A and B are shown apart, each in its own frame.
Chain A
Amino acid sequence: MNSMGILTARETPWEIVANNFSLLAMALLAFGAVVFLVFLLAERTSVKAQEWIKYLVFIAPAVLLLLIGLIYPTIRTLIFSFMDARSENFVGFENYVWAFTIPEIVTVLRNTALWVVLVPLVSTAIGLAIAYMTDRMKRPGIIKSLIFMPMAISFVGAGVIWKFVYSYEPNDKRPEIGLLSAISKNLTGSAPNWLLEIPLNTFLLIVVMIWIQTGFAMVVLAAAMKNIPDEVVEAAMLDGAAPIKRFFQVTIPMIRATIVVVLTTITIGTLKVFDIVRTMTGGNFQTNVIANEMYSQAFRQMNYGTGSALAIILFVAIIPIIWYNIRQLRRERTER
């Protein structure tokens, strides 16, 4: 980091921007030119030659990139997870034993479990409720946009937004500038230092992720509700089913498949999230999660062994979902 600072010491920010943008323009032009040339040449080849060239042009690039960039690294990470910090000697299951016995890491695993249970359930539940409440509204556009908006904000941005909500004023004489602290002081006369309060802080971070994911759940579930045939809904209405009853006995069973998709999608996103924790507490005060600890182990402690082991644990947690999704998709494809 330092060496680069010295290297670029004489360049002004505008010069750096100009340099970067000329590189950007060159990269885009080069990419476009290659694609164009390949097409120009391939189009002129004989029909027979095209039968194999088509694989080379259309399928090979993506497959090659996925092999080099995802499949090969995954295998290597698996191997690294059985090696020491600098990937020189095999250490057997040492890194995994470490992960499941060191108290700090056990806390990390416990927190991750908490995230993975709470975020999907709560955001899907709230999303479902809003989708149902707005299903029959005349103009639900603004409401939905407002709830959906956090989806457009980065986790880092969301972290700043909520850190501000949770901000705490240690000096009793000065007014609180954090919304939550101010409310708490008005109601109870005091406010804790929210992000230091264990275990409350983990829940406060989870709230941020729920805030982001609810919009996603709402949009997808609302679309599914619109697909329920009117006859079904009206039959239930004519039977005199109260809205709440209709919700549990008609709506939920009709969109069950979509609810599962939403739950699994949010679960996967939650397992991978690290930005929120990193921005708001840096993983301190017992709020750490696997994804953040994986990053610290690998790139702060420079321990590729433990970092890889944590990545593999993350992967193993996701495998059942992948398996379930593939089975589901297989079934749909054969039905078609």
Chain B
Amino acid sequence: MATIAMPNARRKARNIFSSPFASAAAWLIAIFWTIPTFGLLVSSIRPETDINSSGWWVFFSEPNISFNNYAAVLFEGTTTNPPLFQFFFNSLAVTIPAVVFPITLAVFAAYGLAWFDFKGRDFLFFTIFGLQVVPLQLALIPLLQLFSQGLKFGEITIIPDLEITGTYIPIWIAHTIFGLPLAIFLLLNFLSQIPRELVEAARVDGAGWFKLFSKIILPLSIPAIASFAIFQFLWVWNDLLVGLTFGAGTKDIAPMTVRIAEMVGTRGSGWEVLTAGAFVSMVVPLIVFFTLQRYFVRGLLAGSVKG
């Protein structure tokens, strides 16, 4: 009874026990955690000569600000070394479908797994759950061959060579496939919480499986979809492995991570370019992260905290 009657007193009790020492320690760790990123940000707005002749902390005693690094890395380039803004748009072009496709297919599958009664449903569920952690590395070589040669068993062609190598299509498909297991699992967790009565009432009213989906299930699952969308967005935007394997062949489609990784490799010392370039690649995920952190955390928790 006391629990219900005195929530405020309880909260007060909590705060009394928060020690200033613990708070100070937590702040210290947080600052320590931020310094590397902060150093990169500060460096990226210093003139080239400053970056290479003194540490970024000198900025606070000699504050010279210049956005030339950003201008140079974003817009200067050649046909063989295109400017970074092109890769920025490449990343967008990779990411948007690679978020939309798996979510659509996953909502479908999660709906089926949650509400259809069929033999082998549990088996399918556990298989998908297990597939969540299968390393991508296992699928890379055969998948790459599939895209470049099609699929043949002996002489019989099951999937012909679609001649899609060098376009976005292999990257989209690869990201869709790799994102599906987690997407299905998260959405299924959510969809199976929709009250059975609600679904059954709609069924009794004569709603078919498709109407039920578009009128009831889909609107209810928007929050879960949003959570996963952020997840998948960050994952795809930050991915290097899939981009490198399926899209590094041509700079017309290579995402920004591939480009930044290449810059680190070929001009290891050009910090004026690297700091600005790295920051350009981080801007979008950081904005998404800070504005939608709540949904991101929710998605994270749905996948890992039980009970």
Mark A residues whose CB is within 8 Å of B.
1, 4-5, 8-9, 13, 16-17, 19-21, 23-24, 27-28, 31, 35, 39, 42-43, 47, 50-51, 54-55, 57-59, 61-63, 65-66, 68-74, 76-77, 80, 126, 130, 132-134, 136-138, 140, 142-143, 145-157, 159-165, 167, 174-179, 182, 211, 214-216, 219-220, 223-224, 227, 230-231, 234, 237, 243, 257-258, 261-262, 265, 268, 271-272, 274-275, 278-280, 282, 291, 294-295, 298-299, 304, 307-308, 310-312, 314-315, 318, 321-322, 325-326, 329-330, 332
Contacts and interface: CB of A to CB of B under 8 A. Distances in A.
B90 to A, nearest CB: 7
B195 interface: no
B138 A73 contact: yes
B297 A156 contact: no
B229 interface: no
Given A231-B3, A261-B306, A326 B172 contact: no
A332 B306 contact: yes
Given A126-B29, A153-B37, A177 B137 contact: no
Contacts of A318: 133-135
Q: How large is the interface on B (under 10, 10 to 19, 20 to 34, 35 or more residues)?
A: 35 or more
Nearest to B131: A70
Given A154-B238, A332-B307, 11 more contacts: A5-B80, A51-B209, A65-B177, A147-B29, A156-B257, A161-B36, A257-B307, A261-B306, A279-B261, A311-B137, A318-B133
B68 interface: no
11 contacts: A8-B79, A13-B86, A19-B252, A149-B33, A160-B277, A219-B301, A230-B3, A279-B264, A295-B137, A314-B135, A318-B133
Main secondary structure of the interface of B (DSSP, over half): helix
Contacts of A257: 306-307
Contacts of A271: 135
Given A133-B23, A150-B33, A307-B141, A165 B39 contact: yes
A160 B100 contact: no
B67 interface: no
Given A220-B304, A318-B135, A157 B238 contact: yes
A74 B245 CA distance: 17
A152 B286 contact: yes
Nearest to B209: A54
Nearest to B84: A13
Contacts of B140: 73, 298, 311
Given A69-B174, A165-B36, A177-B56, A20 B118 contact: no
Contacts of A80: 141-142
Given A134-B26, A243-B22, A65 B105 contact: yes
B93 A20 contact: yes
A42 B82 CA distance: 47
A196 B57 CA distance: 25
Given A39-B210, A220-B305, A311-B138, A275 B289 contact: no
B240 interface: yes
A214 B32 CA distance: 13
B133 A70 contact: no
B265 A50 contact: no
B186 interface: no
A142 B129 contact: no
B289 A151 contact: yes
B77 interface: yes
A59 B26 contact: no
B172 A58 contact: no
B70 interface: no
A154 B240 contact: yes
Pick the most buried of A57, A271, A310: most chain B CB atoms within 10 A of its CB.
A57
B154 interface: no
Given A61-B105, A149-B34, A31 B97 contact: yes
B304 A265 contact: yes
B297 A219 contact: yes
A74 B271 CA distance: 40
Pick the most buried of B106, B130, B239: most chain A CB atoms within 10 A of its CB.
B130
Contacts of A265: 304
B86 A304 contact: no
A44 B119 CA distance: 26
Contacts of A143: 26-27, 29-30
Contact of A219 (B33, B282, B300): B300
B208 A23 contact: no
A312 B131 CA distance: 14
Interface string B245-257: 1000111110001
A177 B285 contact: no
Contacts of A295: 137, 241, 244-245
B300 A177 contact: no
Contact of B109 (A58, A220, A299, A308): A58
Given A298-B140, A326-B130, A157 B282 contact: yes
Nearest to A47: B208
B69 interface: no
B116 interface: yes
Given A13-B77, A42-B210, A177-B55, A164 B39 contact: yes
A315 B139 CA distance: 11
